[in-house]
Structure 1
Amino acid sequence: MSSPQATPLKEQTRYMVPALEKGLNMLQLFGQNGELSFTQVCQRTGLPKASVYRTVQTLEQMRFLTRNSISGSYSLGISVLRLGFDYLSSMDIVQIGRPVIQRLRDTTSYSAQLCVLDGREIVYVARASAVGEAAAAVGVGTRLPAHCTAIGRVLLMTLPQQDLSLLFPEPSFSFTTEQGPKTPQELIELLGSDYQRGHAISESFYQPGVSAVAYPLRDRDGNVVASISVMVPRSVLPADLKTSLSTQVQKAAREIEKFLHIT
């Protein structure tokens, strides 16, 4: 029996999908250049205008590209971020973060978790339940509205207002909580406060009788890629506990970030 040989390049390329290749090459072009006008895309790809138009329109409809309403230029959209978050949630973040949140759980005696952003929702990608905790209402894979949760707010707080407007185009939220923001504008104001503080704290904000302290996780370029938090079964956090938990969650966040900065 002859040993298997590498598939010749010609054999490999015959199975490539030209339209898909064109779209992916265009995304790489935007990744390298940032914002580009339609004319610039045509010039840099060398493709016919009709072909570029169809590709750009498809990518915009799927939110891989977003159009600047003032300049008319295009840039990478929120769906590109979602792909990145999905990759991180299945790879580095979970692998690096799981032992850290377990230690955070052991240190604080409260449940700790890691989340990533997927559109308007947060997704729990790792969780360490507190010892003796009853059946958890949330687990890995659970989705919650980002605008109503502290761990979601730290994922939203660094997004440009243009991206927030794309995520929350409605004049008011159809779902909120008693203490949660009622409109996107209220959310933006709340995110401004979170940004200034550098983290988010909620007391019975999403679920009555449950408080949370959350910090963002940043990659080496300073982009927020995930968030970490502890959940406390108390309606209100005493000042000393609030300070203590903030310090410990921040320490855990910095520990994870050290690994992210070298990957």
Structure 2
Amino acid sequence: MDDTQKFDDDEESKDRQFVNALARGLELLRCFRPGEPYLTNAELARRAGIPKATVSRLTHTLTKLGYLAYSERRGTYQLASGVLALGYALLSNMDVRQIARPAMEELAEYSQASVSIGARDRLNMVYIETCRSTANVTLRLDVGSRIPLATTAMGRALLSGLPQSERDYLMDHIRQKDEENWPRIKAGIEEAFRSYEERGFCVSAGEWQKDVHAVGVPLLGVEGERAMAFNCGGPAFLLPRERLEADIGPRLVALANKVKADLGRA
């Protein structure tokens, strides 16, 4: 079973309105990952923790509905255009992407790095918009890319701005996912909380990937929008911690405040 599936099991088990068959079908769609477009029923069953006989019925149904496509030659399934249509409908209706993009492009060029905005998906952040500078060396993460909640500036920024109960819930699941490294992860998250309280942003310097530095700021409390966060990140040699804290961090805070104000007027 994929460890992300366990994330919501405790909440789902208490919900009498929860439709298990629908959840299982959606769980299969989540099994596909970048660079792994083709999966068999057996692989899907293993990743989702669902019996193979049930998976066979679900993949048949999802294929009929246009969310999966089956290859006779390979004997595998892949995501189909129905999933893309859902994703496009979501992105096209997010006002924040259109409103934030000009300011994101300006900061990306100034920093010679990448500026992105993402939303939480279980214990990850998913990019919903990203702007890269014209620099030859920059992060190559696109819309739809997933990064960890616990060790990235974007993820820690989101955690920093959440209500205490929700934050505690997520922290507990982060701990369960990686008990061995939890003391180090917890220390980094708590440092991010302090930074956010003092300066309005938090930094991840080589904690996600050793050669990547980034600063993050949450975007919260916007009516009609879910909790999100911005980041500005790039190669460590372009974004030393001192520059992130003295220059880029405050600029990202200003960007987030401007976007929040503009969304309120939209």
- Give me the TM-score of the superposition, normalised by structure 2: 0.57
Aligned equivalent of 1:14: none
- Is 1:58 aligned with 2:58? no
- Measured in 2, the distance between the counterparts of 1:176 and 1:95 equals 40
Number of equivalenced pairs: 185
In structure 2, how many angstroms separate the alpha carbons of the residues matched to 1:150 and 1:200? 6
CA contact (8 A) 1:168 1:184 kept: no
Q: Which runs of 5+ in 1 are unaligned?
A: 1-53, 63-85
Is residue 116 of structure 1 aligned with residue 84 of structure 2?
no
The answer on whether the counterparts of 2:192 and 2:203 sit within 8 Å (CA) in structure 1 is no
**CA RMSD across the alignment:** 3.7
Q: 5+ residue gaps in structure 2?
A: 1-12, 24-88
Identical aligned pairs, as a percentage?
23
Matches within 5 A, 1:22-171: 57-59=16-18, 90-134=93-137, 136-170=139-173
Q: Which residue identity is paired with 1:145?
A: P
Confirm or deny: 8 A CA contact 1:89 1:116 kept in the other structure: no
Q: Which letter does structure 1 place at the counterpart of 2:161? A: T
> What's the counterpart of residue 199 of structure 1?
201
* Separation (CA, whole Å) in 2 of partners of 1:241 and 1:184: 21
User: What is the distance in 1 between the residues matched to 2:157 and 2:91?
Assistant: 17
Q: 2:211 aligns with which of 197, 209, 212?
A: 209
Give the drift of 1:208: 0.7
| Distance of 1:188 and 1:209 partners within structure 2 | 19
Q: Return the alpha-carbon distance in structure 1 between the equivalents of residues 135 and 206 of structure 2.
A: 21
Report Cα offsets for 1:63-106 as digits up to 9, x if no partner.
xxxxxxxxxxxxxxxxxxxxxxx958841111111222111112
Q: Which amino acid aligns with 2:218?
A: P
Structure with max Cα Rg: 1
> Could you tell me the TM-score, scaled by structure 1's length?
0.58
* Structure 1 pair 104–211 and aligned structure 2 pair: CA distance change class (3 A): same
CA 160–186 in structure 1, closer or farther in 2 if over 3 Å, else same: farther
Relative to structure 1, the CA distance from residue 89 to residue 247 in structure 2 (aligned partners, 3 Å threshold; closer, same or farther) is farther
Q: 1:145 to 1:173 in 2, by over 3 A?
A: farther
